Amino acid sequence: MPERLAERLEETLKRLKDERDEADRRYNEALTALDQSLIGVIGLPDAPPAYDEHQVTPLNGAWNILPAPPEASGLQGKLTGFIWRVIAPYLQRQLAFNSLLVDHVNRTVPAHREAQRATDSLLAVLRVQFAAQAEFQSRLIYLLQQVTSYVDTKDRDTAGGAIVLNAALSGLSESVAKRWESLTARDERRDARTDALSAAQEELRGMIGVAQQASLTVKRELERMMAGGGAPRDVAATAPSPGPAADGNAFAPALDAYKYVGFENQFRGSRAVIHERLASYVPFFTGTSDVLDIGCGRGEFLDLLAGAGISGRGIDLNHEMAEACRARGLDVTEADACGFLESLPDESLGGVFSAQVVEHLQPGYLLRLLELAFHKLRPGSPIVLETLNPACWVAFFESYLRDITHVWPLHPETLKYLVLTSGFTRADIEYRSPVPQQDRLQPLAAQRGADPQSTGLVDTFNANVEKLNARIFTYMDYAIVGRR
């Protein structure tokens, strides 16, 4: 906790410093940009020269070029009159043009004078305004430059208090850290003792379970001895025909049967867990009757059949498991599979189920079992065989090798082939119990902006991860679902 508090405090201080540095950077950049954008006093051009009026007065006096008509008599007068009549119209038009031109010039003279005065006034005003703007910008830059010094003096004013506060916080943090280290060490010692006690408790619980099973077995055998006056019964001696026990099954004798019950309870799972796992097989037997559960164990699947209204019975070589099932009212016979099937009439069964049994059988015994099941099932009846998937390394090393009664691992394709060659017209593989995703090999995440070579290596690595997951971390169980 103190480490986390110190980390959070350090993160906060770093964040505040980064924000301050970023604000200073933005302020300095803005101040520099403003300084660079200053506009100096603009040199405005002089006013244009005044309008040239020195020809206006002469133009007003010389525009009338039309002379008076000539006065003459006789032949000269007639000739002069004729010439006048010819050129008079042209002179009249020239006179009209001159009149219009002089009138236009006289009208533009006042306008040019006003434009000249307006230009002089505008230039004077602009010079004053540009000078005032340059003065304002200069004073603004000066003001903004003083802000940094002002803020720095404020920071120095509060620095003393901050130093005192930081020192106090540092002292408090060190004190809390030391206290927390002491508590952490104490918790670690307590956790270690708790783990040791938990381990011892689990070991004791297992020993108690085994002892309870042993005591129940001894009690049952003593009661049988007292009732029959004989020696304790040995299942291996009374089995109808050779089965797994004939190969030296370590838990076949009745007095050792309780050990395998304890093994099932500890490693395979509780009855509730097995109920949940086997429930999905019940629909294969819908509408059937007389279902035989070979190696019924603690009777979980028989309970599921009864709950679905399907009649069924079980067989198991383990004396304790058979006794426990009968104590709960289940129809369970203590016998080996082949011997029991041989005693049944042909086509007398409506279904055969066996979970986690075939891997306990020798190949020859398994082939005999499949042939007998084919003959004892009615046409169209289902057979479901669940077993460990040895193609999944997790199942092989974590489950198959743990049980010393396992005899032969069966590849899914191998068991399917054996079922089909035993006469069944159909056999499908259904994979169960996938390895959890978190227990599989994890691919690498692609990095943004990575060079093509690194990306190629990541893709190659991930492709190999997928191949390994597909071969090693797949499904821990599978079932062969066949039809007679």
In a shared domain, residues 369 and 296:
yes
Q: Does residue 348 share a domain with residue 421?
A: yes
Mean pLDDT of the 214-222 span: 62
Section 3-24 average pLDDT: 80
For residue 284, the domain's CATH number is 3.40.50.150
Sheet-wide strand order for 382-388: 332-334, 312-316, 291-294, 351-355, 382-388, 475-483, 426-434
Cβ atoms 51, 116 nearer than 8 A: yes
C-alpha distances (whole Å) from 374 to each of 213, 341, 356, 363 are 36, 10, 19, 17
Q: How far apart are CA 393 and CA 73, in angstroms?
A: 149
Cα separation of 9 and 21, whole Å? 18
pLDDT confidence of residue 339: 93
Indicate if 371 and 470 belong to the same structural domain: yes
Tens of pLDDT, residue by residue over 404-458, are 778 888 899 999 999 999 999 899 999 988 888 877 788 877 776 667 777 778 8
393 and 260 share one domain: yes
Q: Cα–Cα distance between 435 and 422 in angstroms, integer?
A: 31
More confidently predicted of 3 and 79: 79
pLDDT at 293 (0 to 100): 96
Is residue 221 domain-resident?
A: no
Tell me which of 187, 221, 245 is where a domain ends: 187
- 350 pLDDT band, cuts 50/70/90, is very high
The tally of domains found in the chain comes to 2
Give me the DSSP letters along 398-441.
IIITT-TT------HHHHHHHHHHTT-SEEEEEEEEEPPGGGSP
Residues 386/478, Cβ–Cβ less than 8 Å: yes
Q: Per-residue confidence at 238, pLDDT binned at 50, 70, 90?
A: very low
Closest by CA position to 384, among listed 358, 346, 347, 417? 358
Over residues 184-212, the mean pLDDT reads 73
Spatial separation of the C-alpha atoms in residues 58 and 220, rounded to whole Å: 155
Counting every residue written for the chain, the total comes to: 484
Contacts (Cβ under 8 Å, ≥6 apart) of 306: 312, 330
Q: What is the model's pLDDT at position 248?
A: 40
> Is residue 468, in this structure, part of any structural domain at all?
yes
Kindly tell me if the per-residue pLDDT of 57 is higher than 70: yes
| The pLDDT of residue 208 | 66
Q: Does residue 225 form part of some domain? A: no
**pLDDT value, residue 1:** 52
Residues forming a β-bridge with 428? 481
Closest CA to 300 of 386, 410, 408, 411: 386
pLDDT for the residue numbered 337: 94
Q: Which residue has the tokens 């802000």?
A: 147
Best-predicted range by mean pLDDT among 48-52, 189-193, 219-223, 241-245? 189-193
286 and 168: one domain?
Answer: no
pLDDT digits (tens, 9 = 90+) for 77-129: 778 778 877 887 887 788 788 888 888 888 888 888 888 888 888 888 888 88
Structural domain including 334 reads 235-483
State both tokens at 417: 């082939």
**Considering the domain boundaries, does residue 17 fall inside one?**
yes
Token digits of residue 199: 């381990």
Of 326, 276, 281, 277, whose CA–CA distance to 299 is shortest?
A: 326
Q: How far apart are alpha carbons 310 and 287 in whole angstroms?
A: 8
- Final residue before a domain boundary, out of 157, 187, 217: 187
**pLDDT of res. 265:** 52
Q: Model confidence over 246-275: pLDDT tens digits?
A: 344 544 444 445 455 554 555 466 778 888
Is position 30 within any domain? Answer: yes
| Domain identity same for 142 and 256 | no
**SS3 of residue 353 by DSSP:** strand
Are 281 and 371 in the same domain? yes
Residues 173 and 246 in one domain: no
In a domain, residue 330? The reply is yes
Q: How far is CA 381 from CA 101, 296, 385, 427, in A?
A: 126, 19, 13, 12
d(CA 281, CA 301): 9
Q: pTM for the full model?
A: 0.48
Are residues 479 and 334 located together in one domain of the fold?
yes
Q: Do 315 and 447 lie in a common domain? A: yes
Highest mean pLDDT (candidates 55-69, 200-214, 372-386): 372-386
Residues 337, 423, 288, 333, Cα dihedral to 10°: -10
User: 165 with 42, same domain?
Assistant: yes
Averaged pLDDT of the chain: 79
- Residue 202 inside a domain? The answer is no
248-253: long-range contacts at Cβ-Cβ below 8 A with a sequence spacing of 24 or more? Answer: 249/317, 249/360, 249/405, 250/404, 250/405, 251/318, 251/405, 252/317, 252/318
Are 420 and 350 contained in the same domain? yes
| Domain end position, chosen among 150, 172, 187 | 187
Lowest pLDDT segment from 42-56, 288-302, 310-324 = 42-56
pLDDT at 234 over 50: no
Q: What is the share, in percent, of the chain residues with pLDDT greater than 90?
A: 25
Say yes or no to pLDDT of 278 above 80. Answer: yes
Please check whether residue 226 lies inside any domain of the structure. Answer: no
How far is Cα 314 from Cα 336, in angstroms, rounded to an integer?
11
Question: What is the reported pLDDT for 221?
Answer: 65
For 51-63, letters b (16+ CB in 10 Å) and e give eeeeeeeeeeeeb
